[in-house]
Structure 1
């Protein structure tokens, strides 16, 4: 029988304690080193040295292969960014982020993930552990970026 990967989508909404013009530049592999404890990356291709459409970078992964990220949309006028992230033999993930300014000068960050499993183990993870893992990750991200926006310092895990 041929393998059939399942696909699961989830969206989370954060409130970030600054305007989109301050939050958006932090959504970059280079800038994430400033505020996201444990974040590491290798820049593979970028004309500017920072995030941009067509940027490619990798991150270490707990499995056999590094995760490769490709930036498909980078719209700094409308505060929209999209990535496709591939961990060979494990998963393909599409991430969409849209920042919206609130009247009080803070930001609503809508973050959507669409996971596609590439093996049976990842199928099982998506069925049983994805929901809790996603929520924990989003809560930590929100806490870490807001701490940085308030203090200019990284929040340690």
Structure 2
């Protein structure tokens, strides 16, 4: 058995969203994300309900590899969703999103924790800088707000 100190990075960003948590939460779903993320197209979604739920599994492309996602927590009433993303030999990632109501709509605390599984993962963890993450989160925030303001019908 080999036990190693993890090469890990955690980043958190708080998004400002223009709708109530009850409108935002259903869009945090491997199926519904296709409505607001251009090019989002999971290869497989395994779900009893057809959308995000605890135990839902979905597969996406991550470079040349497949990424397997598993939703470990799905609590619409608490505005909380957590999932684990596994890319064999590269990284394991925990994604946690917590929504809360504010006067302007919602705030979403989005936390990614990437843990390396080898040299390719080490390179990825090292590239997951604060500046990169902030840009990634701002792009996500802009896309979601644009959808909520212009495309979404309540």
TM surpasses 0.5: yes
Gap change, CA 1:3 and 1:16, over 3 Å in 2: same
The whole-number CA distance in structure 2 between the counterparts of 1:66 and 1:5 is 22
Which runs of structure 2 are paired with 1:29-48 in the superposition (5 Å)?
29-48=30-49
**What is the TM-score normalised by the length of structure 2?**
0.90
CA offsets 1:88-115 (integer angstroms, 9 cap, x no match): 11100000000000034x1000001110
Distance 1:43 1:125, change over 3 A: closer
Q: Quick one: distance in 1 between partners of 2:25 and 2:66?
A: 25
Name structure 1 gaps, 5 residues minimum: none
Mapping 1:28-107, distance limit 5 Å: 28-63=29-64, 65-104=65-104, 106-107=105-106
Secondary structure of 2:62 counterpart: coil
Length-normalised TM-score, structure 1 = 0.89
Contact 1:3 1:119 in 2 (8 A): no
Quick check: 1:69–1:84 contact (8 Å CA) kept in 2? Answer: yes
Look up the match of 2:18: 17
Q: What secondary structure does 2:134 align onto? A: helix
Q: Give yes or no for contact 2:11–2:112 (8 Å, CA) kept in 1.
A: yes
* 3-state secondary structure, aligned to 1:66: strand
Find out whether 1:141 has 2:110 as its counterpart. Answer: no
Number of residue equivalences: 151
Once the two structures are TM-superposed, the CA of residue 4 in structure 1 deviates from its matched residue by 5.3
Structure 2 distance, partners of 1:46, 1:107, is 27
